[in-house]
Structure 1
Amino acid sequence: MNNYDEQPRRVINADVGLNRFLTKMYGWMALAILLSAVAAFYVSTTPALMSIFVGPTRWLPIIVWFVFPFIVTGQALKRPSLSFTLLMVYALITGGVFSMYSLIYSGGTLVSAFVSSAILFIVMALFGTFTKRDLSRVGAQATSALIALIIAFVINMFLQSPAIAYVFSFIGVIIFTALTASDSQKMKQIYLNSDGSASSTTGIAVIGAMQLYLDFVNLFIFLLQIFGGFGNRD
């Protein structure tokens, strides 16, 4: 056998595996977004379901909404199939939680925020996936900024300043724009450093889909607040 033929063959196989991984990760992330959109619409048009998210029991789905990402990522490498199922369940719960926005914002505002989020996410995900520049430092800085933003949000809960909250929304968009690019690159590198087994690849794809889904969701929330003027339904 000609040894000179082995290197190109390995490179081609690696590219094929990477493309399959990226297709799986982004495909599952897109499916989660679709499920959330369908769930949000269905819950917002079904009073019985809506009461779960706006009535006395509203805290239960919100608590589950915050806890689920840790369960999904924690089980991804151990039980990939279960983790994928939980990701889809989480997407449905998120849709239910987001149905409350239909009581605050107009349909035009919701659509504008969603389309803007999708365009911004796609651009930054493509950049993060294909750029040769190391974005790990950008991701670390964005994560630090996110922690600071969360602390500032808690402080503003007592100040109740709409102007400060409005400024925070712009900062949030910048942070999650950077995180989208860095997370896309990070998941690509994690796959390339993995053993390439089916279970490992599936688990990493679930983790990536979960992380990128959260990036998109937060982009949507902050853009919705900017477009909607914080509670202006007109």
Structure 2
Amino acid sequence: MNNYYGNDSIVEQVGTRVQTYMSHVYGWMTVGLVLSGLVAWYALSSQQMDYLLFNTGLGGKSLSGFSWFLLIAEFGLVFALSGMINRLSGSMATGLFCLFSVLNGLSLMPIFITYTSSSIASVFFITAGMFGALSFYGYSTKRDLSAIGRFLFMGLVGIVIASIANFFMKSAPMMWAITYISVFIFAGLTAYDTQKLKEFGMNVSSEDSNVFRRFVILGSLTLYLDFINLFIMLLRILGDRR
């Protein structure tokens, strides 16, 4: 009888630990999305940011050197947070995540210029609903998604390579193929990453606030990237251009 109640108590403690971890992950992911959105809207109304982000010539607007610097800096921050998370303090990880969200907001400005405000808003809510349903599935399903996750990761690598190649080829059919395939990849990754984070949360204690915070930020970054990429791909498909 004592063992029964003891096991029941352990299960309850693990469940509470997972809920605490995931609630913080979703909370900081939301902070990142809000930061990116506010920065993108500010940049849209700022002539100085327009000057910094774009070159204007006879061929129209093109990305400036500063825009390329932003993209490189974002990749660097992602690799720093992912690869050096054990060396970072919780506050440093939080600061880097917020910096990444701000820089990504600036990078989203070309999208805000290209599409109408109403379509951006509608696609955002579509993405939020889709993300919520997929994340809930990943959190609640008993099915092991590890094999699917490995397949999706290989697909993601292929998409990145194809996108780089198409940057030079400028093929519209390839761009649309990449877009539709990416929707399925990031939709699947949302469910897979949520399940992976849930399992990870079983072993992360909130007693050490420093360790807890940095792994919360790592989880938030993972889901943030899934959401943003899913949003961008759906906007390409469903968005109305100005």
For normalisation by structure 2, the TM-score amounts to 0.88
* 1:86-101 equivalent positions in 2, closer than 5 A: 86-101=96-111
For the structure 1 residues 60 and 4, does the alpha-carbon distance in structure 2 shift closer, same or farther, using more than 3 Å as the test? same
What letter corresponds to residue 29 of structure 1 in structure 2? M
CA 50–103 in structure 1, closer or farther in 2 if over 3 Å, else same: same
Q: Is the 8 A contact 1:187 1:204 kept in 2?
A: no
- 1:216 and 2:227 are equivalent in the alignment: yes
Q: Identity of paired residues, percent?
A: 29
TM-score by length of 1: 0.90
Question: Residues of 2 paired with 1:112 and 1:30: CA distance?
Answer: 18
- Match of 1:177? 187
8 Å contact from structure 2 (residues 17, 202) kept in 1:
no
Which residue does 2:237 correspond to in 1? 226
Cα distance in 2 between the residues matched to 1:200 and 1:173: 33
Tell me whether 1:5 sits opposite 2:15 in the alignment.
Answer: no
Counterpart AA for 1:168: I
Kept in 2, the 8 Å contact 1:73–1:83? The answer is no
Equivalent pair of 1:76/1:206 in contact (CA under 8 Å) = no
The structure-2 alpha-carbon separation of the partners of 1:15 and 1:45, relative to structure 1 and needing over 3 Å to count, comes to same
Q: Any idea what the Cα deviations from partners look like across 1:12-34, whole Å, max 9, x if unmatched?
A: 22211111101001111111111
* Correspondence 1:160-171 to 2 at 5 A: 160-171=170-181
Alpha-carbon deviation of 1:153?
A: 2.1
Query: Could you tell which deviates more after superposition, 80-89 or 107-116?
Result: 107-116
1:108 matched to 2:118? The reply is: yes
Corresponding residue of 1:29: 29
How far apart are the structure 2 equivalents of 1:168 and 1:3?
54
How far apart in 1 are the matches of 2:182 and 2:19? Answer: 30
- Gap change, CA 1:77 and 1:197, over 3 Å in 2: farther
2:130, 2:4 → 1: CA distance?
A: 43
- Distance in 2, matches of 1:77 and 1:15, equals 24
For residues 115-126 of structure 1, the aligned pairs below 5 Å read 115-126=125-136
The CA distance in 2 between the partners of 1:212 and 1:113, in whole Å, is 18
User: Displacement, 1:130?
Assistant: 1.1
Deviations 1:123-177 (A, max 9, x none): 1111111111000111110111111122222332333221221122110000000
Q: CA RMSD in A?
A: 2.0
Question: Equivalences for 1:51-200 in 2 at 5 Å?
Answer: 51-54=51-54, 55-78=64-87, 79-194=89-204, 197-198=207-208, 199-200=210-211
Amino acid of the structure 1 residue aligned with 2:220:
A
Name segments (4+ residues, structure 1) moved above 6 Å.
none
C-alpha distance in 1 between matches for 2:206 and 2:146? 22
The Cα of 1:9 is off from its aligned counterpart by 1.9
8 Å CA contact 1:146, 1:175 repeated in 2: yes
Q: Report the secondary structure of 1:210's partner residue.
A: helix
Q: Which moved more, 1:92-101 or 1:42-51?
A: 42-51
Question: CA-to-partner distance for each residue in 1:27-58, whole Å, 9 max, x for gaps?
Answer: 11111111111111111111113322224422
> What does the per-residue CA deviation read over 1:73-100, in whole Å, with 9 as the maximum and x for residues that have no partner?
2343331221011101111111111012
Which consecutive unaligned segments of at least 5 residues does structure 1 have?
Answer: none
